[in-house]
A and B are shown apart, each in its own frame.
Chain A
């Protein structure tokens, strides 16, 4: 054997030995990937950014968060198709709270009670979530003790207002003369507005192009108020429900299954009156309201383009209104709570439909993934991260976070956050949610476009719901 061959054999043997030693040793870290389906908008982008920049798993594993950012209009379709096709692609899914029933019954969303019970620290954080949010985002059946989701971006309806218009001296003086009441100008004054006050603003601030508005001729037709009144998805139900609850009516109450009825409840006189109130405000809104296409994105656009003085919309759309690149009113904004209804006892009733989304675990997530998923959720719900999220434009449902005095300084609407939370209700979590919603939206659209009155609308909805829910065994 030549020297070269001997050297070669030694190198090979050394290499083999080192490979064997390396291979036989314990692996230091596993790679765990969590796949998540989320709507593509700032709150989920921020979450991903925070994860990539800050998250360090306690386990020492290499945890990756792979996120599919899906545009909002396609979100339900894509998630629904992914779940029902059986592809089992995602471990986490951002879900509208109302989808819980359909996807829990389908066997896709994982109950997390066992994970909470196994980790007291986790449970403590979880139970620090405001009860309205906890019930809406996590429970199925609604308000039960069966938990499924964690808040990703909690949301409520608030009033956006143009202070350059509503605080204008001339407008203030003329409004006071006409209605014997001050035109709401500060956040606190907007908080105190009832729907009647909101109507007055709508009537008062409606101006034709060229008429004087806040000391200048209006560049275009201008409108006092706006809120969602669209046929798509839930873009009228979310607003109508608030009117119904505030005025003493109710929707079909799933917490009263099987005794709770739809007939006589959904179309009760109080509910009819509430819907009439909702419809009566449409005449003071931009003309697109008459077409049935004034959804939350349209009212947001109208507001940012400076066509409306006050707009009731989700906080989730607020960041855009603050951005001078896409908002003509970014430096003229003041925010207050959504208008309420004065109760017989003289106290304001503020019931509203909750917005926002939880994220949920799927049933096929493996034990190793679940372990990391729990750590990730604990990190996400931890106080420092929730504070950072709120400072970046998100909202927190954790009491200890939103109760912190710093919280209201993060965004101009945060002042309304905590007081609004106690007044949040949610719509049906039942598997029949989409049937209930689409029929109701169809009927509301007929009322919004002037084809039928409030009574007929609610009678039709009540009849449909009674039939559907009786067939499903939810009404007996």
Chain B
């Protein structure tokens, strides 16, 4: 019996000291990066400083990569591109806009100064600005409740329908899914004409039956109904897809056993079907609530926020984009973000609690 000699394992390098010049000295690279960037920002024109800071970021990133390679942190090395992209595209802009919300800054002006929490105080309490914000927020809450309820109800019923086999089911399913695949702009333009009192089908049909002049969008109730219907038309299929996925995963033998036991249809649904789709329903509810909170596109296309249908997202677009009040817009964004996070966690907490209970 021969004994294999042990494979020599190369010894791991020791970390270089702070001031040692080495390709893997990430501490020194970070120090140099911070100092040079700070000096560049302070002393050089913005367009030159931008590139210098970019080079410094690349230098620090390279030092981290070499360090990870030499010390065999392969896991970290493999995920680092994803983290870099996430940081550049998501975290950095998020932090940047958070910072901006504490300054007085307009994107079409050259000046900027620190104002602390003033933007938040203004958007929440100023007697002119805050009134519009709160009003838009209340409208948004109304749209969240109405659109999500409509989508959940219609989506759920469609899923129950399509869970069964019937002639032309495959083709009807494609047809029902089509609105979800259309662009919002195309749908918005379609509904603009659909509701138009002169050219629209809706007014034409109702006028033919009831006589008179039917104008759906001439009141807040009508305008809200128009937007909710259009949104439900587009996004109920999304809820349907998720619920359908749950429905088809229910084992057939459970229904067969229930049939042998002559279990009522309601009890069959509540004790067999619902537990399988509950998680997916919660997921659909979560997704649609977050999306409904950001509702702006259909409002812009159908009413321009008129007839008292202004939502907080559209209001934000006007403030940050049209009026260039960047900092004020950032403050509103973070208040919206906070609300969405609270709402999401509330859902998740409720979902988890129900799961634990069951």
Contact = CB atoms under 8 A, between A and B. Distances in A.
Given A286-B198, A290-B218, A449-B306, A83 B318 contact: no
B308 A451 contact: yes
Contacts of B324: 80, 84, 102, 434
Contact of A445 (B110, B306, B321): B306
Contacts, number: 93
A154 interface: no
Interface string B299-333: 00011111110100000001001111100000000
A288 interface: yes
Contact of A434 (B110, B198, B215, B323): B323
A419 interface: no
Contacts of A188: none
B197 A83 contact: no
Contacts of B196: 288
B125 interface: no
Contacts of A287: 197-198, 203, 213, 215, 218
Contacts of A464: 128
Contact of A106 (B108, B198, B325): B108
A83 B303 contact: no
A286 B197 contact: yes
A231 B299 CA distance: 12
A76 B322 contact: yes
Contact of B108 (A84, A302, A445): A84
A434 B109 contact: no
B207 to A, nearest CB: 9
A231 B219 CA distance: 14
Given A287-B215, A291-B307, A102 B108 contact: yes
B90 interface: no
B215 A80 contact: no
A230 B310 CA distance: 15
Contacts of A232: 304
B277 interface: no
Is chain A's binding surface mostly helix, strand, loop or mixed?
helix
A77 B321 contact: yes
B305 A442 contact: yes
Contact of B198 (A103, A307, A438): A307
A269 interface: no
A208 B251 CA distance: 61
Interface string B183-208: 00000000010001111000100000
B107 interface: yes
Which bucket holds chain A's interface residue count?
35 or more
Interface string B106-135: 011110000000000000000010000000
A223 to B, nearest CB: 9
A77 B110 CA distance: 19
Interface residues of B, number: 33
B303 to A, nearest CB: 7
Nearest to A107: B110
Nearest to A106: B108
A293 B322 contact: no
Contacts of B305: 231, 442
Most buried by A among B110, B198, B215, B305: B198
Interface in A284-298: 286-288, 290-293
Interface in A70-114: 76-77, 80-81, 83-84, 86, 102-103, 105-108
B96 to A, nearest CB: 14
B217 interface: yes
B304 A230 contact: yes
A80 B108 contact: yes
Interface string A397-428: 00000000000000000000000000000000
A293 B323 CA distance: 22
Contacts of B302: 293
Interface string B74-100: 000000000000000000000000000
A136 B109 CA distance: 23
A438 B108 contact: no
A121 B218 CA distance: 55
Nearest to A287: B197
B304 A434 contact: no
Contact of A291 (B107, B197, B322): B197
A463 B109 CA distance: 25
A189 interface: no
A68 interface: no
Contacts of A76: 322
B304 A288 contact: no
Nearest to A220: B198
Contacts of B325: 435
A467 interface: yes
Contact of A221 (B198, B217, B303): B198
A204 B50 CA distance: 67
Nearest to B305: A231
A232 B303 CA distance: 9
A451 B135 CA distance: 15
B109 A293 contact: no
A291 B222 CA distance: 10
Interface in B214-232: 215, 217-219, 223
Given A76-B322, A80-B108, A438-B322, A288 B197 contact: yes
Interface in A217-241: 220-221, 230-232
Given A106-B108, A287-B197, A293 B304 contact: yes
Given A84-B324, A287-B198, A291-B218, A105 B307 contact: no
A105 B109 contact: yes
Contacts of A103: 108
Contacts of B110: 106-107
B346 to A, nearest CB: 33
B198 to A, nearest CB: 5
Contacts of A292: 303-304, 306-307
A284 to B, nearest CB: 13
Contacts of A449: 218-219, 306-307
B306 A231 contact: yes
Task: Among B107, B197, B218, B307, find the residue whose CB has the most chain A CB atoms closer than 10 A.
Answer: B307
A438 B321 CA distance: 12
Contacts of A290: 197, 215, 218
A76 to B, nearest CB: 7
A438 B197 contact: no
Nearest to A99: B108
Nearest to B324: A84
Given A290-B215, A293-B303, A434-B322, A302 B198 contact: yes
A260 to B, nearest CB: 20
Given A288-B197, A291-B307, A438 B218 contact: no
- List 8 A-B pairs, minimum CB-CB distance, nearest first: A292-B306, A287-B197, A231-B306, A106-B108, A84-B107, A291-B217, A290-B218, A231-B304
13 contacts: A84-B108, A105-B108, A106-B109, A108-B108, A230-B304, A287-B213, A291-B197, A292-B303, A293-B304, A434-B322, A434-B323, A464-B128, A467-B128
Given A86-B47, A450-B218, A451-B308, 5 more contacts: A287-B203, A288-B196, A290-B218, A291-B218, A292-B304
